[in-house]
A and B are shown apart, each in its own frame.
Chain A
Amino acid sequence: MRIQDRIYQAFTGSRPNVLGKVLEDISPRKATKTKHKKLSERTMQLIATAASIAILISAGFGGFAYYRDYFAGQKPGGDSTLNGTNPGITQPTTPPTDPNSPDELLMWIEEDARQIICPGATAETLPVEVVLDLMYPEQDRYASNCYVASAAYEGYHYALYYTQEGVLSRIGVLRSSDAQGYISQTVAQRKALLAYAQKQHGPCVASGSELVDDTYYKVRISGEYYQWSTLVYIDAYSGELAAPEDTADLNYRMDDMIYPRVLMSSIYMPPILPVQTVTEDGIEKYCFTRTENGYCYEFKFSTADYTLLSIAVLDCECEKTGHISEFLAGWIAQMDIDPDYYGRVHGIDFGLQLIDDSVYYVEVQHEGNDANYAYYIDARSGQILQAIEDAEPITTALEARNIALAANGHSIEELKDLAITRNGFNHAITVSYQVDSTRYQTVIAMFSGKVLSQTERNETASRGDENRSNVIGWQKARDIALEVCGRQKTHMIGFDYTFANDIYQFDFVFADASSTCRINARTGGIQNSNAEGNQLSQETATDIALNYVNLSADQVSDLTATLSGNTSYLVSFEANSIHYEITVHDTSGLILEVKLPITTRPQSIGFDIFAGYNGNWLRQGLTHAYDSPAQLQLAQLFSKGFDTETTTPTDEEIAYLNTVWPTDWPQEDLIRLPAEQMDQVLQQYYGIRLEELGTACFDGLVYMESTNCYYCMAGNSAALELNDIKAYRVETISDGSLRLYYYLHQRQFEPWVVTLRQNDREWVILSNQHLEDITDPNSGEPDVPDGSISFWGAAELAMEYTGLTDLEHVTVTGNRIDDHYVIYLNDTDILYKVTVKAYHSFDILDFEMIPLVEGGIQYKFESMLMDHDGWYNAAIAHQFASLEELQLKELFCTGFPGESTEFTAEELAPFPEEEGYYGDLIRLPKEKMDAVLRAYFGTFLSQLDGQCFAGLKYLESTGCYYSCVSDVNRPEEVVIWGAEFIDFELLQVRYRLSYEDGAPFFLLTLRYLPGGSWQIISNVQE
């Protein structure tokens, strides 16, 4: 059972059932008193209050009063029972089928009765209507204090308000048509809705209407989520779709056809378009122009069927490129996927690229079904040239590499310096490599695999021009500026970038001094800088530095203060065997840097202080995290107990502990911790007394007063082996204490920080924390420039990129190499090697991803190497440091299936029977050997040295090699211990041939080939 399932079971398996009590205890919903405001007399009048439905009916509504019984949950139809279950309110997703259909759903009212909102409708109510308030209603209103039914009667529609108890509290009425001989506004809206529904434009609502010239209604119809709207004209007398004016009709129809295609910034209100009719080439077209997103467009549609005929970009001041905007290209692609649903198709990621200045390549992912589409769209007319459905994304870097190689006509052997990066926003992959002195860069569309662009350049001529944006990035520029001006990031008050000449400008203020620095964005060079303020004296800088570490001049030696560069003093001195170097800004007096150079760090700090196993209380301090000694977990700290204490419990101890632990506690695991000794350790190594610790520190310990000892069971915290601690940085912090940054192999290379202080040459641990938990804003991951990501940040990105987000299946390992992280993600299905650049500017991060081992590394290689019929198993039966040392006799010692036919006299001749050869003779056809060598070793017989053929005899007449095998020694058991990439494609698998301790390790080196196969390079003992 998985750990997660165990936890789930444990935490929920025996949960009590309190539902009955909850239902008992929930208070009946109290009908709060409605604040009955005085309602507009024009639209609503209070006409009655009644105590029951009977009164309602007797008031004359009769069968016209459709109401729905909330309590009985019954359909409308006159049932007046007011008991039962509230059926709730749902909103219809389809328009009504008939303008005069009866109530299907109820209206509800907001608490203060200002708004009546009708999610469903009677013949005389709107699908969504604000009766009393023109404020646009939210869709999630509810009635907390009363229920509302609606009714239609003689041209009026009514809202009937009920209390929780079923008492009819009041009735509102909306005057609509007033019997003028034409249909009511409501019915007009319903008609308009149906007209749209019939045109299959999906769910829509009427959001307003107006009677014009006493002849027709102008009804505004909007998409279900108000993502579009248009006007529909309804004859006020007949209720038919009307076109009262040619222009208006044209506008209506243009809206209708344009919006699916040209949905731009005016989402909520359609434009009133000055539409012209033009005739071109004998075809009548509607034509209109519109300016959006900096482009002036001219759209032409067929007057016959409203087909979009062309989009042109007019020559205007704002844009003269002649091609449509990326935005419009994206929308054209989206609308093509599902035009009937307007904005409900969300292309969540655009891969947009203008190819050859004439064609847009657009990728859209349908948010509903995750299908991918790729489009080629004419950049000038907006016409779709090609649409690719279900475009398959490229998932591996190697796949991209192979596409690039094929496009450029290169082979894998030729290339060097391969870099594969994913272009952050554009969903494209850039493959860059060098052949001879030429660097080839190929941009590939991620979904279609199409080559978008190919460039070549002479590498020797343009070396150093790798950065695609060719600017250093604002963070690097800022760091330069900080250095130049001697400021900190918090002092930056202004930042600007001048595109014209690629200059970053940074403004800083500290105390009364302000400064400005201008950095060349391409070279990082300082354009100019200026600062205001007076330079500090050497003495003042020294005082500031000493004061900062709380030392006086007589406590230090070798004190020097020199101007460093032109903006700061470097103050250095020795104190308590620690060499300090403090940089002080020469104008502001700001401490810029406090550092302890590695070369001068005291010998006493390092791994040696954590040496030893039992009894090293500093080492035990690394077992868990704590921000201060007051948070120590004593059960962890003392998990190995004291050497002086025998663990055999006395009868008294057993009797006592039986009262606090289950009686079958394992006595041999008991750890006895005398309080006095604990106190001594705590004082000496952690600077705290036992009595100063809170109760939380004693979690897991049992105290026995008569012995003055604490007791616990041997835990799993386990002191760590010394060689598992990999310290990588030591630094001093402001109070003179030291921080030792380290990784622990057992903790998957998580960065930890232990903070120590030296008291009389004894080290005291102040804290042991995860790096990420250090709150000091000035501390970051060591040796990592600001702006770079942490190991775990990189791992997170790698996991997100590979889709391996569920950590329970993924083992994350890796390391930082120079300016990038190499992260291995090993889940049950696949092993990924992801290279993540540690430094990033803006939002772009580059990845390399190589899925290497399907089936999981351990499973994969164990099954591969233990297949006794397979050639990998045969290969590891002997050692060879290179293929020159391969022993074919060993490799092919079991022969080939089907080659066990009777040997001819000619074949037997070289192997006399008296020498005992016959029984073990094997026949090895040259072709079969070559096939194996080619497939599994990437070589041929003809390429192997003579020493590889030792023990084989070749018979030219049969084309076979022969060998007498005395012993077949294929490995029976293979235990994989790990695997590591030693090159881009070379994987070194570490394994043993036995589970037994002391069994030697072997290293099998394999080369990964496209398609998922592995070539054997060497097999040697470690």
Chain B
Amino acid sequence: MQENDGFVDCYSERGDEMLHQASKSDLDGWIRDMRHGDRDALAKLYHATSGAVYGYALSIVKNRHDAEDVLHDCYVTLWDKAAEYRSQDKPMAWILTITRNLCLKLLRQPDTIPLEELSYIAAPSADPAEAATLRICMQVLSEQEREIVVLHAVAGLKHRQIAKLLGLKHATVMSKYRRALQKLKASF
């Protein structure tokens, strides 16, 4: 079976927003259009992928303000880098790589203040259950486990793709994912 981006499968199940319509070729097409200054294409790409980008950023930077910054910077970067994009059937992996790099860049900055108060990660208006879930994810999971879980559950990447993105062995990702889920199950 041909390995795909994983993105389509994930969101076709979720039916979230317009994600169910976004296929790998849609993403490719939008990025290609962005090269030519198509702002609509950027908007479409944003609507289709901002959930994954934000969720993944939040899992790394652990606070919503930084995640929001990364979300913003990510799409500005995507706009600027669209010309460099070469489709290898992995648009989502490309976007998430940019996201990750922005997060790591942010974390490397000396003036980044690690967030002490975990409740801060959730938006004030967030549903209490969402806030609790976020808190548990931040408390219970290690950095890498959290990244893996979010990449799978939020960004819809397959374990093999996550392994490639994070530079880990496939088996490592699978076992860490499973461990993480067990931890979460025990905590929820």
Say whether A1009 faces chain B, with CB atoms less than 8 Å apart.
no
Give chain B residues whose Cβ lies under 8 Å from the Cβ of A8: 14, 51, 55, 153-154
Of all chain A residues, the one with the shortest Cβ separation from B58 is A11
CA distance A700 to B136 in the complex (A): 11
Interface string of B66-105 (1 = CB under 8 A from A): 0110011001100110010011000000000000000000
Q: Would you call B24 an interface residue if the criterion is a C-beta within 8 Å of the partner chain's C-beta atoms?
A: no
Quick one: which of B1, B36, B68, B158 contacts A86, CB cutoff 8 A? B36
B112 to chain A, nearest CB (A): 14
Which of A11, A142, A716, A792 has a CB less than 8 Å from the CB of B35? Answer: A142
Find B42's partner among A22, A662, A772 (CB 8 Å cutoff): A22
Say whether B133 contacts A7, CB under 8 Å: yes
Name which of A21, A22, A142, A792 has the most chain B CB atoms within 10 A of its CB.
A22
Question: Assuming A11-B134, A18-B75, A88-B33, is B58 touching A6 (CB within 8 A)?
Answer: no
User: What 1/0 mask marks residues of chain A from 162 to 174 whose CB sits below 8 Å from any chain B CB?
Assistant: 0010000000000
**Is residue A249 within 8 Å, beta carbon to beta carbon, of the partner chain?**
no
Residues A500-529 near B (CB distance < 8 A):
none
A7 touches B149 (CB 8 A): yes
Stretch at the interface among A151-159, A313-321, A804-812, A874-882: A804-812
Residue-wise, chain B 49-62 has the 8 Å CB interface mask toward A (1 for contact) of: 01110111011000
Question: Binary interface profile of A, 157-200, with partner B (CB < 8 Å = 1, else 0)?
Answer: 00000001000000000000000000000000000000000000
Give the residue among A3, A143, A370 with the most B Cβ atoms within 10 A.
A3
> Please, how many angstroms separate the alpha-carbon atoms of A793 and B38 in the complex?
46
A-contact 0/1 string along B106-150, CB 8 Å cutoff = 000000000001010011011101110110010110000000011
A663 to B: closest C-beta gap in Å: 12
Choice from A12, A23, A144, A700 contacting B83 with Cβ under 8 Å = A144
> Is there an interface contact between A792 and B171, defined as CB atoms closer than 8 Å?
yes
Structural contact, A144 and B75, CB atoms closer than 8 A: no
For B126, list chain A residues within 8 Å (CB).
13-14
Q: A13-B126, A86-B33, A88-B33 are in contact. Are A3 and B188 (CB under 8 A)?
A: yes
Most buried by A among B29, B129, B149, B178: B178
Interface assignment of A140: CB less than 8 Å from any CB of chain B: yes
Q: Once the chains bind, are B133 and A88 in contact (CB under 8 Å)? A: no
Q: Which residues of B contact A716 (CB under 8 A)?
A: 140, 183, 186-187
Q: In chain A, what residue has the closest Cβ to B169?
A: A772
Q: Give the docked Cα–Cα distance between A27 and B186 (Å).
A: 48
Docked pose: A17 CA to B187 CA in angstroms = 30
Q: Is the CB of A12 within 8 A of B51?
A: yes
The answer to whether B130 touches A3, judged by C-beta atoms less than 8 angstroms apart, is no
Kindly provide the distance from the CB of B9 to the nearest chain A CB, expressed in whole angstroms.
10
Contacts of B72 in A (CB 8 A): 18, 21-22, 25
Picked from B83, B130, B170, the residue with its CB within 8 Å of the CB of A142 is B83
Write out the residue numbers on chain B whose beta carbons fall within 8 Å of the beta carbon of A747.
Answer: 179, 182
B133 touches A9 (CB 8 A): yes
The answer to whether the Cβ of B39 comes within 8 Å of any Cβ in the partner chain is: yes
Residue on B nearest A108 in the bound complex, by CB: B36
Knowing A772-B171, A807-B181, A808-B181 are in contact, say whether A140-B130 is a contact too (CB < 8 A): no
Q: In whole angstroms, what is the CA distance A336 to B182 when docked?
A: 50
Residues of A within 8 A of B86 (CB): 140
The size bracket of the interface on B is: 35 or more
Q: Which of A12, A22, A89, A792 contacts B75 (CB 8 A)?
A: A22
A85 to B184, CA, bound (A): 47
In the docked arrangement, what's the CA distance between A522 and B32, Å? Answer: 58
Chain B, Cβ-Cβ closest to A17: B50
Write out, one digit per residue, whether chain A residues 235-273 have a CB within 8 A of any chain B CB (1) or not (0): 000000000000000000000000000000000000000
Given A4-B152, A26-B42, A88-B36, verify A793-B127 contact (CB < 8 Å).
Answer: no
Known contacts A18-B72, A805-B159, A11 near B154 by CB under 8 Å: yes
Inter-subunit contact A140/B68 (CB<8 Å): no
CA distance A772 to B175 in the complex (A): 10
Give CA–CA (A516, B119) in the complex, Å. Answer: 66
Interface string of A790-816 (1 = CB under 8 A from B): 101100100000000101100010000
Instruction: Give the chain B neighbours of A89 by CB distance below 8 A.
Output: 36
Interface centre among A10, A22, A164, A662 (most CB of B within 10 A): A10
Write out the residue numbers on chain A whose beta carbons fall within 8 Å of the beta carbon of B2: 348, 367
Please determine whether A14 and B154 come into contact, CB atoms closer than 8 angstroms.
Answer: no
A11 to B33, CA, bound (A): 29
Most central of A25, A140, A807 by chain B CB within 10 Å: A807
Tell me if B83 and A796 are in contact (CB < 8 A).
no
Q: Looking at the assembled complex, report how far the CB atom of B111 sits from the nearest CB atom of chain A, in whole angstroms.
A: 17
A796 close to B171 (CB less than 8 A): yes
- Within 8 Å CB of A812, what residues of B? 178
A29 CB-CB contact with B under 8 Å: yes
Asked whether A38 is an interface residue with its Cβ less than 8 Å from the other chain, the reply is: no
With both chains docked as a complex, state the minimum distance between the C-beta of B135 and any C-beta of chain A, in angstroms.
9
Determine if A16 is an interface residue (Cβ-Cβ < 8 Å).
Answer: yes
Q: How far is the CB of A43 from chain B (nearest CB, A)?
A: 27
Closest chain A CB from B25 CB (angstroms) = 12
Q: Of all chain B residues, which has the CB nearest A702?
A: B116
Chain A min CB distance to B74 (Å): 9
Q: Interface digits, A433-470 against B, CB 8 Å rule (1 contact, 0 not)?
A: 00000000000000000000000000000000000000
Which residues from A are CB-within-8-Å of B139?
700
The complex places the Cα of A18 from the Cα of B152 at a distance, in Å, of: 24
Q: At the interface, yes or no: B7 with Cβ under 8 Å from chain A?
A: no
Which residues on A sit within 8 Å (CB–CB) of B58? 11
Interface assignment of A36: CB less than 8 Å from any CB of chain B? no
A residues less than 8 Å from B177 (CB atoms): 807
A340 within 8 A of B: no
Does A28 count as interface, using CB distance less than 8 angstroms?
yes
- The minimal Cβ–Cβ distance linking A978 to chain B, given in whole angstroms, is 17
- Asked if B4 is at the interface (CB within 8 A of a chain A CB), the reply is no
Across the interface, which residues of B come within 8 angstroms of A3, CB to CB?
A: 153, 181, 184-185, 188
What chain A residues lie within 8 Å of B12 (beta carbons)?
none
Chain B residues within 8 Å of A70, by CB: 36
When each residue 149-182 of chain B gets 1 if its CB lies under 8 Å from chain A and 0 otherwise, what string results? 1101110001100000000011110110111011
Docked-complex contact A85 and B38, CB < 8 angstroms? yes
Q: Assuming A3-B181, A7-B137, A7-B154, is B33 touching A15 (CB within 8 A)?
A: no
How far, in whole Å, are A35 and B78 apart by their CA atoms in the complex?
A: 26
8 Å CB contact of A6 from B33, B87, B123, B188: B188
B125/A14 in contact, CB under 8 A: yes
B55/A11 in contact, CB under 8 A: yes
Q: Contact between B127 and A13 (Cβ–Cβ < 8 Å)? A: yes
Q: Does A19 contact B (CB under 8 A)?
A: yes
For the complex, is A729 an interface residue (Cβ under 8 Å from B)?
no
Hey, which chain B residues are within 8 Å of A17, CB to CB?
50
Could you tell me if A13 and B130 are in contact, using CB atoms closer than 8 angstroms? yes
Complex CA distance for A599 and B145, rounded to whole angstroms: 39
On whether the beta carbons of A26 and B76 are closer than 8 Å, the reply is yes
Residue of A nearest to B51 (CB): A12
Q: Find A26's partner among B35, B79, B172, B183 (CB 8 Å cutoff).
A: B79
Contacts A11-B150, A16-B123, A805-B159 known; 11 new A-B pairs at CB < 8 A: A3-B181, A7-B153, A11-B55, A13-B126, A86-B33, A88-B33, A88-B36, A716-B187, A747-B179, A790-B171, A796-B174
Interface residues of A (CB under 8 A from B): 3-19, 21-23, 25-29, 70, 85-86, 88-89, 140, 142-144, 164, 348, 367, 370, 660, 662, 700, 716, 747-748, 750, 770, 772, 790, 792-793, 796, 805, 807-808, 812
The 7 closest A-B pairs by CB, nearest first: A11-B55, A10-B133, A12-B51, A14-B123, A15-B54, A4-B153, A7-B153
> What would 13 A/B residue contacts be, using CB atoms closer than 8 Å?
A6-B129, A10-B130, A14-B64, A15-B71, A16-B64, A18-B75, A19-B43, A22-B42, A22-B79, A25-B72, A88-B38, A142-B35, A748-B178
Chain B residues near A (Cβ < 8 Å): 1-2, 14, 29, 32-33, 35-43, 46-47, 50-52, 54-56, 58-59, 64, 67-68, 71-72, 75-76, 79-80, 83, 86-87, 117, 119, 122-123, 125-127, 129-131, 133-134, 137, 139-140, 149-150, 152-154, 158-159, 169-172, 174-175, 177-179, 181-188
